[in-house]
Structure 1
Amino acid sequence: MSGEPMQSVVVAGGGITGWAAAAALKRCLPHLDVTVLPIQPPADAFADRLPATLPSVLAFHGDLGLSEADAIVRTRAAFRLGTRFVGWAEGLPDYVHSYGAHGQAIAGSAFHQHWLRTGDAPFDRYAPAAALGREGRFLLPGEPPVDLYEYGLVLDLSAQAAMLRAFARHLGVREAVSELRSVRHRADGFVEAIETGAGPLVADLFVDATGPAATLRSAVGGDRTDWQRWLPCDRLAIDAAPTAAPPASLDMVEAIDAGWRFRIEGAVQTTTGACWSSAHDPRPGGIAFAAGSHAEPWAKNVVAIGDAATMVEPLEWTNLHLALSGIDRLVTMMPGRDCAPVEIAEFNRQARDEAARVRDFLLLHYVTTRRPEPFWRDMAAVELPDTLAHTLTQFAERGRLPFYEEETFARDSWLAVLLGQGVRPRRIDPMVEAIDPAPIAAGMARHRDALAAAAARAPTHAAFLQALHRQVLS
């Protein structure tokens, strides 16, 4: 089969992750014969359980060709502009991590360098998305100063999964409703078929979207890297209730004694819960999980997607993002039926590097937090991964952030957390020190005031959603 194109794919796993994979494969590679074995996502499949998303979900919808009506209105989604972090830096006010620009470059140098020198207001007051979110408002990016930002969604999970299933079926994806019983291998170690209650499912390629158990990927063998020494939270409790008031455009994450709790307000449902370390708080209950990642999410002819490839706590809501990113990578790097090792190695390198930087970004929140409880003291003393140590060392010296190719969060996202939690470099850029600070400070104040005034005039999140629904459904 050397050089022959891939002809058939079986996706094991239902829910958002499985149906998103099937829809993307069939939409972008219509010659493929795609079948879904719609296994119900398990409780610890956080990509399918948490409704808050990063802005990347909108790009994924766009790649599928989904209209705004399909992706937002008909799935009862709401918008989200970022997260308000409460209690993560003792003695400091809460801060917002929003997506997009925080200020603008001044005299050819980064805005945050000038803020470090002259800023007299919190860093997030210069971010359009944060300004809108703090007022409970929403507006699509437009003219300055309310521009240069991104937004994610708060999904109605059941409606999103149903939409993706219907779209995939419309494209020609087949659904084989049954239970997964076993995996049958060929002599060369490749998977030949999935044995189900309705008979075998044979394919050239198998996509594992079964959640952290990674039922198919585990059957092929290989190491899983344990990240619990860096991300020790291992319990998650989730609750949901109808949204009783107009939804906020920011979710909230609050530090607690041994972890954090959260609130995500959607158009029809509000999701609350907590994530904590059972070693520091042995309270009963919660969904057990363990942070870690497959060193090789793709092995032989099986590729793990989402939580089956990398499992992290849902701080910053990266689980679905990693799933969608893995799907995009699979589509763009689809090899031939022989699954040439050189191609699979590059897929795995990119996936591994991306997952590691997500891990680093989550760990950043913990190691820069100043709280007195034992959990937080233990986190402050943890030995850092080399990549995060390099980032923090560079920032601590001159306020600079190194570039990594497979980065999920932009520089301003790293700055939002670092500066929001009170981390300051020893020195600032010498180019900035050579500029007269007085006019810079005055310009920053004018920009901040203009942004606050524009945010106050914007429609509320609820009003924007209502107008969008009227426009689409009229």
Structure 2
Amino acid sequence: MNRAINSVVVVGGGITAWSTAAALKRRISVLEVVVVSSPPPPDALADRMINTLPSIAEFHSDIGLSDEDTVVRARSGLRIGTAFKGWAEGLPDYMHAYGSYGVPVAGVAFHQLWLRHYYPRGRPFDSFAPAGEAGYALRLETEIYRQLIHDYSLHLGVVEQPGDPVDVELRGADGSIEALLLADGQRIEADLFIDCTGPAARIRSRMADRFDDWGRWLLCDRIIVEAGAPEPDKPLLDEITATAAGWTWRSSSPSATVTGSVFSSAHSADVEGANPIRQGRLSEPWVRNCVAIGDSAVMVEPLEWTNLHLAHSQIDRLVSMMPDAGFAPVEIDEYNRQCNAEADRVRDFLCMHYVTARRSEPFWKDASPDELPPSLAHTLSLFAERGRLPYYEEETFARDSWLAVLLGQGFLPRRIDPLADSVTAEQVEHALSSRRRRTPERLAPAQPSYRGSFLQMGQNAQP
């Protein structure tokens, strides 16, 4: 007879592990959830990057946390997008903001109207993005945030078991995990084991699998992260600047300014102090009764801050697609299909930045190979013809995010949709004016800073 999964062991002590535990216990309260906790490794970017995507608000809502909890009490900062500098020589810097750009008119997509009426006049595409309309993302104070999720998980009934996992005991019959073995000799049994240990995947790696390496498309394999004093008056845009061998970033939250560098060791003479990163994913994040979450399943550079988002997305699928203790292969296969499809499109989105960049150094030539992932090659080919983008079911980034980068870096279609000729510039301006009248002023700050936005949000809350 089929029976429900009763017990779950989550391995790892970072944000990813405690987020997994909180979601499971909150949404399937009858589960017995134990977290075998140990500090996350330096290369666990989902646990250590401060920047997130707007989707984090939905995850917080799903597990029962409010803005007062996750912004004010956790001292998080706000962010509305990223400013890209130096990615297209000869063109101005551009912004990738979250939300829609412009408005369609008479059924014609706005970017087609921009190409017809505004591009010839030199008005940049990102000037039509009302920053903040789609909601804000967060910059986390990672240790405070981790403590918040940790304490909330314990409040929900999760049990913490500090320990160092050293091996697993496999069942001879089917190769699933019978028990987790700790360095102190303890043996912990469960129905389901979740690996949140970072890129090494210390538990999931005990079960055979193939790693799909993306190094031929994403050349950056080193990362350096440094933290300094906060800059409270910095705008709510991160700065990502292209360099000869990769890119650097600067991001300021209310408690710290974080800078970093991501680069290719093959194109840089100095790699001292850098941590290695291997970009790619497991071909099967879930095998039998063991599932890898976050960096244990997929590892990408933090170019668009997708690391924690991918973990949250995997957690959401885990909860909604939870099988019974029989672990039917067809159900696990569907989970893997969806997670891999989303990861692959994130890979495409990041790779697109390099392929469409306009720089002359050897790294940038090598970062735009002739053979692209088929899904990205199709996307770029379709867009290059008449400015259209294909639909993929498991997309992290909306169409306007793709457009922000493509058009910001000067990747223009060969032809404009003929329907754009049927809409006059006056009609477009009227539609834009109507939208501005409907958009509250607070949703469209020019360059908001933390001092105003953060304090306004927290003025009635007790930290």
Taking structure 1 as the reference length, the TM-score comes to 0.93
Aligned to 2:12: 13
Aligned to 1:272: 259
**Is the partner of 1:260 in helix, strand or coil?**
strand
Uncovered stretches (5+) of structure 1, i.e. residues with no partner: 130-140, 142-146
From 299, 311, 331, the counterpart of 1:311: 299
Aligned to 1:412: 400
Please identify, of 337-346 and 192-201, the stretch whose mean Cα deviation from structure 2 is larger.
192-201
Aligned to 1:138: none
Deviations along 1:10-56, one digit per CA (max 9) or x if unpaired, are 00001100000000000000010000011211111000111000011
Aligned to 1:351: 339
What is the CA–CA distance in structure 2 between the aligned matches of 1:452 and 1:373, rounded to whole Å? 44
Aligned to 1:467: 456
Amino acid at match of 1:299: V
Contact 1:126 1:448 (C-alpha < 8 Å) held by counterparts? no
What is the CA–CA distance in structure 2 between the aligned matches of 1:462 and 1:299, rounded to whole Å? 47
Aligned to 2:130: 128
What is the CA–CA distance in structure 2 between the aligned matches of 1:430 and 1:9, rounded to whole Å? 56
CA 433–6 in structure 1, closer or farther in 2 if over 3 Å, else same: same
Aligned to 2:364: 376
Deviations along 1:296-355, one digit per CA (max 9) or x if unpaired, are 000010000000000111110111110111000100000001111010000000011000
Quote the sequence identity (%). Answer: 50
What is the CA–CA distance in structure 1 between the aligned matches of 2:370 and 2:261, rounded to whole Å? 22
Q: Structure 1 residue 429: deviation in Å?
A: 1.4
Superposition pairs of residues 157-306 of structure 1, within 5 angstroms: 157-187=142-172, 188-196=174-182, 197=184, 199-285=186-272, 286-306=274-294
Uncovered stretches (5+) of structure 2, i.e. residues with no partner: none
Amino acid at match of 2:461: V
Aligned to 1:136: none
From 371, 392, 403, the counterpart of 2:380: 392
What is the CA–CA distance in structure 2 between the aligned matches of 1:471 and 1:200, rounded to whole Å? 48
**Is the partner of 2:357 in helix, strand or coil?**
coil
**Is the partner of 2:205 in helix, strand or coil?**
helix
Please identify, of 420-429 and 448-457, the stretch whose mean Cα deviation from structure 2 is larger.
448-457
Q: Structure 1 residue 442: deviation in Å?
A: 4.0
Aligned to 1:320: 308
Deviations along 1:411-455, one digit per CA (max 9) or x if unpaired, are 0000000000001111111211233x3314544775798789874
What is the CA–CA distance in structure 1 between the aligned matches of 2:106 and 2:192, rounded to whole Å? 52
Contact 2:103 2:432 (C-alpha < 8 Å) held by counterparts? no
Please identify, of 70-79 and 442-451, the stretch whose mean Cα deviation from structure 2 is larger.
442-451
Contact 1:361 1:414 (C-alpha < 8 Å) held by counterparts? yes
Contact 2:217 2:368 (C-alpha < 8 Å) held by counterparts? no
RMSD over aligned Cα atoms:
1.9
Amino acid at match of 1:35: V
Q: Structure 1 residue 473: deviation in Å?
A: 1.9
CA 300–457 in structure 1, closer or farther in 2 if over 3 Å, else same: closer
What is the CA–CA distance in structure 1 between the aligned matches of 2:450 and 2:224, rounded to whole Å? 27
CA 458–390 in structure 1, closer or farther in 2 if over 3 Å, else same: closer
What is the CA–CA distance in structure 2 between the aligned matches of 1:458 and 1:21, rounded to whole Å? 35
- The answer on 1:340 being equivalent to 2:328 is yes
Deviations along 1:276-300, one digit per CA (max 9) or x if unpaired, are 0001113122011111100100001
Aligned to 2:116: 117
What is the CA–CA distance in structure 2 between the aligned matches of 1:299 and 1:207, rounded to whole Å? 11
Deviations along 1:231-286, one digit per CA (max 9) or x if unpaired, are 01000000001204424200010000010000011111111010000011131220
Amino acid at match of 1:160: Y
Contact 1:178 1:198 (C-alpha < 8 Å) held by counterparts? no
Deviations along 1:343-384, one digit per CA (max 9) or x if unpaired, are 000000001100000000000000000101000011223411
What is the CA–CA distance in structure 2 between the aligned matches of 1:34 and 1:442, rounded to whole Å? 56
Contact 1:212 1:311 (C-alpha < 8 Å) held by counterparts? yes
